[in-house]
Each structure stands twice: as structure tokens, then as C-alpha cells.
Structure 1
């Protein structure tokens, strides 16, 4: 049921996006909607799904028996001397013709075919795990890109608000300047502040375009399609404690896709050892021959059996190489287990540091900043505060708003990094 709803939602979004692209409109999407589109349209994921299908096709091929070999030989198209006439084959033809037929079938021994099938099944599992790894890594990059875009969008709004405020103040100051009530320097100072805000806005727009390019690559949307993320950047609400770290490490060491991939590679290496050992046993070739007029019998039918004599080549080198492959895979798996524990510890510490900084900010601090800005604008218009006091506060206001956004962004990114290290959403 959930998959049907998700598929229907994706179809609706795709239709809306096509219509918006045709009209040049901005597409407004939430983070959840973007993740849904990403799962359906990301080209890397689509390619990985095709690789799984390729491996499944190879399993079909591995199950097939080798084709038999059929040979026709010793046919004479002319009559020779001293020939013993033979019965006609068809029509008036065949009294002086000789023919030989040979049919052979190779039979694999020591369970080679079954072992290759088992190895191919492990290869399918490897491709599926590869898909999970790419999905996991891409989802982390996507979510961090979305967080960055959210921050940049809100920073744009901050600077645009200051540009609008300054524009209104400049209109009033222009009249005062024309009436000779203020000096030219005051007007120029306010104009310079507005120009600085515009420059910051242009720089933010460049950063946003770069982030949007990454987002469009993730969700496979046309480059000329404007996108706006509807969610505001907020601090994540997660119940995270250092007491959970042991459970997280155990979970990650058992369930993370890269761990499962290493386990799969160990099993593949062991299966390859079995195959190489089986190669010591020669395959059998069973043959049936028919010979017309080429033997003491007019129509001769005979059976044959052939196989290699394993006197010189017992496949020792390939067996040794396969065994070393098992040891290498086991060492890499052990190293991955150590890396996982360290990844989780590092990610948790980074999160705790970001959370500690965020917790030091009063819950209503941002609201207080906004109220103070409104008050400063009104008092500046009434000349209760000087231009220097006003511009100093505006500079502090913008800086603090940016610090708040960057703190939220950092906290979101550290949560995602921790979830990535654990291998699941917390």
C-alpha cells in the first residue's frame, strides 16, 4: 500500500514538474518530496539497479549446460575407383558416398556447474549490496545539500529584508537631503550599507546556484527549472545519548551495507576456492559416432569417452591464489569492523559538540533579535538612535542570524553523519 501511494505521489510530482518547466515556474518541494523523487529518478541508482539485473541475467547463463558438438565429415562428392557400392541414401544418390557423423557432450564433474551457480548468486547479492551502499552515500550527500540550500535560502531572505528596509529608509532620507535636514555623508553611508547587502546577496545567489546544480543532478531535473525548498532550516529533534553507543556499534558491525559486502566477498572467495579445487577433476566428454562405409561395418555406430589426464597440471597455483584471496577478504572485513567503531565514536563526539553549542543559545534568542531589529528601524526613523548605532546593530543582527543558521546546519549535518556511521536513521 505504501509503495502504491509513493508511486502515485511521484507521478503527480513528475506531472507538476513538467508543467512547471513548460511555464518556467518555480517548483516548490519539501525535503520529503525531494527524497521521494530522488529514489525514483536518480541516475546512479537506476544504473545500480540495472547492474543487479545484469547479475541476474548471468545467473540464468550459469545454469545452462554447455552445448553439444555435432560434426559431419568424410563426405566424398565424387566417385572413386574400386568402390564397394552402398545402398542409396535418398533418390538415386548415395551408392558411392561415404559419410561420418560425430556427436559429443561435455559433462562437468565435481559439481563445477553447481558451484558456479552458487558463486553467481553471491554476485547478485554483491550487486544488491552495492546498490545499498550507493543509496546510503547518495542520501547523505543529498540531505546535506538540502540543508545547505535551506540555509542559503534563509540567508537570502535576511539580506533581502535588510535591502528592503534600507530602501525604505533611503526614500525618507532622500527627501530629508533635498530639504537640507541631513548631510550628504549620512545619505551616502546608508546607500553604502545597502550596496554591501546587495553584494552579499549576489554572493549567496552564486553559492545557491552551485548547490541547486548538485540537487538537480541528484533528482535528475532540468537545469533551467527553478526549485524552492519549502521547509525552513530547523534543529533536528533526536533522542541521542552516549549510552547508546555500544548498541549502535553492534548494529553497524552487523548490518551496515559495507559490512555485508565484505562478508559477501569472503563467501565469494571461499566459493572460488571450491571451484578451483573442483577444477583438479577433469571433465568428461561423451561421444557418439556414426560411420557409413568407412569401416569393416557398412553402418558403424560407436560410443566414446574422453578426459584429460591430470598428470602435470593439478591447478595448484589457482588454488593457492584463491586461498590467499580468502585471507585478504577476511583482513579487509576485520579492518572494516575497527573503522566502524571509530566512525561512530567520532560522529557522536562531533554531534555532541554541535549540540552543546546549539543548547547554549536561548530558545527565544532569534525572536528577540527580530523584535529588536524592528524596534531599531522604528527608532532610527524617529531619530531616537544615530545612524552609527543603527548600522552597528544591523551588522550584529545579520551576523547573529547567520551564526544561528550555521549552527542549525552544523547540527543537522552531524546528525546525518552519525546516522550514516550507524547505518540507520535514529
Structure 2
């Protein structure tokens, strides 16, 4: 039984050592970066932003097209053959014509309005994407930072237990300690290594997403630098709830997009009604040997008679689109109100919880663990008490780090739902 457990533990220790070695080999690629530097890198390099910015250029090109007038039409005809040649050979007969299509009912101006609204929609879509990606970036940044702080706790405890395990093996070989004490140390070390490996996997997953946002090499290890300390601060007191809500209405681009969609559909309805009015084509023609007489010059006008097709279907669809966009706007407004209210409440809860902690607790507890370690080495406390202290220390430190992360994330979510960086850390 002892041999089986030892083999399993050695395998896990070997995997853990390999993982640590792999991270050490890429230490030269470690990037220490602040949140401001990360945002600057993101704005310069993110491919999703670059791709979506082309949509604005594309919409601008459509405006150029909408402003253009229709090209005139020119036609030429030359005789080839005729039975009656009293007027001379057929090839002498030539006719020319030019015509111009004139749009009516302000169709051109309405198309220009639609193109301009299309540019506005593309811009709003771009800035809403920017808002979402920045939220993801900041969340990933702080998640990595606080998880790395938790990883340090595991690393310290694993290193300490590894040294203890070496000493216990020597004592066990001499017959000075019981096998159960050695197995207890090994089991504790095994549990910590499994938890540490799982935590590192989560860090690596979040890092991979952040590296994509920043266009960093996959081999890069990100070391977030965070200097802000929210301990004891009531940051939400600096901004009222009404300010948050007003800012959301003014700066949420998904809400603006819903508003401009109503304007777009209203203009489109006007265009569809204008489409029911026939366009007019005016023409000028010249016939060298015409039937009416030589060198005949004539003018003409043509247009469709709107007896059957008056664009009834297009007009109906445009009216339905208006009603639909109004409902969508109301839904988006409700969503904005709900987002701000829910996230404001969550942020208040997280702030209240964080400020209820004694700021001296963490450093004092860290000092206590250092003393516990010394007392255990001097055999002033037993193994079980030593492990219990370490387990309590680890659990509380992880809870504190997770709570600090939850508080920062709640503020980032408020920034996101209001579209305004009220609480940049």
C-alpha cells in the first residue's frame, strides 16, 4: 500500500516539477505590464478592432455611391440595308440619341440620408465592440493578477512541505517516525500540487485570451502590475446612481444603435413611398435621313404608369420595420436600466463586504504562519496542528484574493454597463 501511494505521488511530483520547469524556461518571455499599458497595446494591435473599423470605411464608400447621379445613356444607329434606295444607300442613314434618367420624389436625398445613418450604425457597432473587448481585457488582467497571488500561497506551502517531506523520509528510514506521519505529509503535498496545477491551468487559459487581445506571442507569460489599493475606500460614494444611469443612456452604444435603427427605418419608409413615384427619363434624338425629313431632331420623355406596382409590399415592410425597431428600442432601454440597477447593487454588496475585513488581518496572519513554521521545525507543535494552521492560512488567503477580485470585477461591470470608466483602477 505504501509503495503504491509513493509511486502515485512521485508521478504527480514529476508532472508538477515539469510544469514548473516549463514556466521557468519561458521566464525570459515574461511581460510585466500595467492595465494602462495593456489598453494602449490593445488599441494599437487588436485585429478584431482593425477588422471592424473597415466596416466604417465601407459605409463611407456607400455614401459616396449614394451621392452620385445616374449616368446619361447614349445610342447610335447606322443603316445596313434597305429595299427602297431612293434616298441613297442604306449606310448613309444614321441616327443618334442621348437620354438621362431623373429620379423623382427626393429619392437621391433619401438614399444619402440612409447612407449617413449607415455610417453612424457602423461607428456605434465599432465602439460597442470596443467597449466589450476592453471589458474582457480588464477582467482578464485582474483575474490573472489575483490568481497569481493565490498561486504564490500554494507555491510557498508546497516548497515548505517538500522540505518537510525530505526530512521525514530521512527520519522514517532511521525508524524515528511512524509511516502514517510520512503518508500524511505526502497526501497533503499531493493535494496541494493537484490544486496548484488546476489553478495554473486556469491562469494559462485566461492568459491565452488576454494574449490574443494584445497580440502577444503564445510563449509570453504575463505579469500584471497592480498598484491601486481599494482597502477601506467607499468608491461608489463618489458617483450617484442617477449619474450612472444617465451615463448609460448617453454612452451605451448598443442603446444608441437601437435609437438610430428607428431613424433609419423612418427614412427607409419615406424612400419606399418615394419609390412608388415613377422616375422620368428625358431624351434627345437626331436622325440624318428620317422618315419625317432629313436631319430630324426630336426630344422625348418617358416614365412608368403606376397602375399595378406602387411598391405596396416595400412600404408595408418598412412600416413593420419601424414598429419592430421601436419595440427593440424599448427592450434595450429596459436592459440598460436593469443592467445598471443589478450591477450597482452587486458592487455595493462587494464593497460593503470588502470594507468589513480588518486590513491588518492578512499581514498578521502571514506573520503567524511564519511563526508556526518555526515552531514546527523546533518541534514545539505537532504535525496535525501544523497542517491545520497551513490549511486555514491557505483557505483564508484564497478567499480574500477571490473577494478582492470580485470587488474589482463588480466595478469593471459598472464601467461596462454605463459605458463610462468611472472606476478605473
Which interval holds the TM-score relative to the shorter structure?
Answer: 0.7 to 0.9
Q: Report the Cα offset of residue 382 of structure 1.
A: 0.4
What does residue 245 of structure 1 align with? Answer: 241
Q: Report the Cα offset of residue 407 of structure 1.
A: 0.3
Q: Report the Cα offset of residue 198 of structure 1.
A: 1.7
TM normalised by structure 1 equals 0.86
Say whether residues 1:226 and 2:221 are aligned partners.
Answer: yes
Change (3 A) 1:23 1:251: closer
Q: Report the Cα offset of residue 45 of structure 1.
A: 1.3
What does residue 365 of structure 2 align with? Answer: 369
Say whether residues 1:85 and 2:88 are aligned partners.
Answer: yes
Q: What do the CA deviations read for 1:345-377 (whole angstroms, capped 9, x no partner)?
A: 111111122222212211111111210110111
Q: What do the CA deviations read for 1:44-66 (whole angstroms, capped 9, x no partner)?
A: 21121010010001111111111
State how far apart, in whole Å, the 2-side matches of 1:300 and 1:192 are.
Answer: 108
Single out whichever of 98-107 and 114-123 deviates more from structure 2. Answer: 98-107
Q: What do the CA deviations read for 1:62-90 (whole angstroms, capped 9, x no partner)?
A: 111111112222x234576524237xxxx
Give the length in aligned residue pairs: 397
Change (3 A) 1:238 1:326: farther
Single out whichever of 184-193 and 230-239 deviates more from structure 2. Answer: 230-239
1:1-150 to 2 correspondence within 5 Å?
25-73=29-77, 75-77=78-80, 82-85=85-88, 96-150=91-145
1:288-367 to 2 correspondence within 5 Å?
288-367=284-363
Change (3 A) 1:54 1:178: same
State how far apart, in whole Å, the 1-side matches of 2:328 and 2:184 are.
Answer: 64
Whether contact under 8 Å (1:29, 1:227) holds in the other structure is: yes
Q: Flag structure 2 segments of 5+ consecutive residues without an equivalent.
A: 1-25
Q: Flag structure 1 segments of 5+ consecutive residues without an equivalent.
A: 1-21, 87-94
State how far apart, in whole Å, the 2-side matches of 1:48 and 1:66 are.
Answer: 31
Single out whichever of 22-31 and 381-390 deviates more from structure 2. Answer: 22-31
State how far apart, in whole Å, the 2-side matches of 1:306 and 1:238 are.
Answer: 75
Q: What do the CA deviations read for 1:289-330 (whole angstroms, capped 9, x no partner)?
A: 122223332222211111122233333332233223222222
What does residue 16 of structure 2 align with? Answer: none
Whether contact under 8 Å (1:72, 1:100) holds in the other structure is: yes
State how far apart, in whole Å, the 2-side matches of 1:367 and 1:290 are.
Answer: 99
SS at match of 1:240: helix
TM normalised by structure 2 equals 0.86
Q: Report the Cα offset of residue 339 of structure 1.
A: 2.1
